[in-house]
């Protein structure tokens, strides 16, 4: 006898039918992720390789690499720092109040739109001329990432690499507003659709869900960091990469690498 599941409205539904529908919804989501990621990889590969070579050159000149983003874009910042298989040299910038763990979390939406907050953040950072700053923002319109990018270029002399979706250019709030892509030196188009929601449910087509910006962003930024390491290797420089602390000798090697590049590391 098939298992019966009782829905919220009291109707009995066969469990196998529910499983098939939910499986289909998940597969649609995964297919959407694959498609956007494939498009971004195909369209941005040469761009990322070029940017990676630029960053590698700056690293050899003793400059620093930084990353910044607000709320869920801050998750991509976390991806760039202190993890096995990742670059030793990316310095994360985590802004107070702009992390998904903020309570109430709705405060983050107000803060990331707050003019002037970027200037406050930059006052305590040692970003120097020639440094490279990665700025993540899916929409590219919030005040904090846009002002942050503009200020590090104009007042600190740093180079900005924007990770953003240029699809959002169609949603310009006003003619005078600048998009993140318009205040950056290099732009990596993440190709995230407007709304960052990949699928609609059959029963409620007005409801879209299934965010994909984190998945695609992680793939792209790790691609960039790998291209940086590959460019360093081509120049005869052993890439500074974290090893897993859970393998023999991993932590010991990590400490040696951190000590070697101490002058370019600002998160210790």
DSSP string, 212-237: -HHHHHHHHHHHHHHHHHHHHHHTT-
Nearest-10 crossing angle of helices 15-60, 213-234: 30
C-beta of residue 90 within 8 angstroms of C-beta of residue 81: yes
What is this structure's pTM?
A: 0.93
Residue 13 has pLDDT above 80, yes or no: no
Q: Identify the CATH number of the domain defined by range 44-264.
A: 3.40.50.10490
Which residues on neighbouring strands pair with residue 68, listed in sequence order?
93, 135
C-beta of residue 135 within 8 angstroms of C-beta of residue 143: no
C-beta of residue 153 within 8 angstroms of C-beta of residue 161: no
C-beta of residue 158 within 8 angstroms of C-beta of residue 104: no
C-beta of residue 54 within 8 angstroms of C-beta of residue 63: no
131-156 as b/e, with b when 16 or more CB fall inside 10 Å?
bbbbbbbbbbbbbbbbbbbbbbbeeb
Note the pLDDT tens digit of each residue in 166-216.
Answer: 999 999 999 999 999 999 999 999 999 999 999 998 889 999 999 999 999
Distance, first Cα to last Cα, the chain: 61
C-beta of residue 59 within 8 angstroms of C-beta of residue 70: no
Task: Work out the mean pLDDT of the chain and round it to a whole number.
Answer: 94
Note the pLDDT tens digit of each residue in 85-109.
Answer: 999 999 999 999 999 999 999 999 9
Residue 12 has pLDDT above 80, yes or no: no
């Amino acid at each position: 006898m098939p298992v019966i599941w009782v829905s919220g409205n009291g109707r009995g539904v066969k469990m196998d039918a529910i499983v098939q529908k939910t499986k289909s919804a998940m597969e649609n989501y995964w297919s959407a992720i694959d498609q956007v990621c494939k498009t971004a990889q195909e369209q941005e590969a040469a761009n990322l390789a070029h940017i990676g070579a630029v960053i590698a050159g700056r690293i050899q000149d003793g400059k620093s690499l930084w990353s910044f983003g607000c709320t869920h874009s801050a998750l991509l910042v976390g991806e760039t720092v202190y993890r096995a298989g990742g670059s030793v040299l990316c310095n994360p910038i985590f802004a107070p109040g702009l992390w998904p763990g903020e309570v109430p979390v709705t405060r983050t939406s107000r803060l990331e739109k707050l003019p002037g907050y970027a200037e406050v953040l930059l006052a305590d950072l040692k970003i120097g001329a020639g440094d490279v700053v990665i700025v993540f923002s899916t929409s590219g319109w919030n005040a904090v990432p846009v002002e942050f990018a503009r200020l590090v270029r104009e007042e600190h002399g740093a180079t900005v690499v924007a990770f953003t979706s240029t699809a959002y250019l169609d949603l310009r709030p006003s003619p005078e507003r600048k998009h993140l892509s318009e205040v950056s030196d290099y732009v990596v188009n993440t190709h995230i659709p407007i709304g960052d929601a990949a699928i609609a449910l059959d029963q409620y087509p007005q409801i879209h869900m299934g965010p994909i910006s984190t998945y695609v962003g992680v793939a792209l930024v790790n691609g960039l960091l790998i291209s940086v390491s590959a460019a360093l290797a081509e120049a005869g420089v052993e890439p500074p990469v974290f090893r897993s602390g859970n393998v023999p000798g991993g932590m010991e090697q990590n400490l040696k690498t951190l000590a070697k590049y101490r002058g370019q590391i600002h998160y210790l």
